């Protein structure tokens, strides 16, 4: 059993964003490209890389993920290099659980969080957000409150 916390908030400023449909291999390649872009432009990452998967499709025998990669950075850069920037990413009223260990077991954490939402009559209104410090997957976040505005992107 995992520890699930409620009423959590995640607020990030100056967030580099890439959203597109990708294979798992493409996701890895895009992460490398983002790292190189950050390094080449003298940008400093100020928080964990956040990912969200919106849908999963099958195309040409492969899984195609509609995914967004979010990276908080130290300065405003505008929309360059194929990336967009969001002044603010704000996730509120989220449930939260931390996963340590084998990333292949992360699905078990999701199942427990979904069960928690069902038992407590909560409605998930955003995709699950994962925050990974370094190269280990660590923090699934789900937003669950359907009565308030949940994610605010300032331009």
Q: What is the pTM of this model?
A: 0.81
**pLDDT, tens digit, 9 for 90 and up, residues 40-52:** 999 999 988 999 9
CA dist 20 → 52, 96, 138 (Å): 11, 25, 23
Q: Is 148 a member of any domain?
A: no
Q: What is the CATH number of the domain that holds 105?
A: 3.20.80.10
Q: Is 152 a member of any domain?
A: no
Integer Cα distance of 30 and 148 in angstroms = 33
pLDDT of residue 86: 93
Q: Is 150 a member of any domain?
A: no
**Number of Cβ atoms within 10 Å of the Cβ of 108:** 12
CA dist 27 → 24, 52, 78, 106, 129 (Å): 5, 12, 22, 17, 15
Lowest-confidence segment of 28-37, 94-103, 119-128 by average pLDDT: 94-103
The residue range of the domain holding 10 is 5-143
pLDDT of residue 142: 54
pLDDT of residue 7: 86
Q: Is 88 a member of any domain?
A: yes
pLDDT of residue 87: 93
pLDDT of residue 3: 87
Mean pLDDT of 60-77: 93
CA dist 94 → 98, 99, 131 (Å): 13, 16, 13
Which residues are within 8 A (CB) of 138 and not within 5 positions of it... i.e. 6 or more apart? 48, 98, 99, 100, 130, 131, 132
> In terms of pLDDT, which residue wins out, 30 or 79?
30
Residue 63 binned pLDDT confidence (cut-offs 50, 70, 90): very high
Q: Is the dihedral of CA 83, 35, 59, 143 positive or negative?
A: negative
Residue 93 binned pLDDT confidence (cut-offs 50, 70, 90): confident
Q: Is 57 a member of any domain?
A: yes
């Amino acid at each position: 059993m995992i520890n699930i916390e409620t009423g959590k908030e995640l607020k990030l400023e100056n967030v580099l964003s890439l959203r597109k449909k990708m294979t798992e291999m493409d996701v890895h390649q895009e992460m490398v490209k983002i790292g190189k872009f950050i390094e080449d432009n003298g940008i400093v990452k100020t928080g964990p890389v956040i990912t969200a998967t919106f849908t999963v499709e099958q195309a040409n025998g492969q899984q195609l993920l509609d995914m967004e990669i979010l990276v908080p950075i130290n300065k405003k850069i505008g929309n360059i290099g194929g990336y967009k920037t969001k002044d603010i990413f704000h996730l509120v009223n989220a449930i939260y659980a931390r996963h340590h260990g084998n990333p292949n077991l992360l699905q078990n954490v999701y199942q427990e969080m979904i069960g928690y939402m069902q038992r407590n009559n909560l409605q998930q209104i955003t995709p699950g957000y994962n925050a990974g410090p370094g190269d280990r997957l660590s923090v699934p976040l789900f937003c669950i409150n359907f009565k308030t505005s949940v994610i605010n992107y300032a331009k």
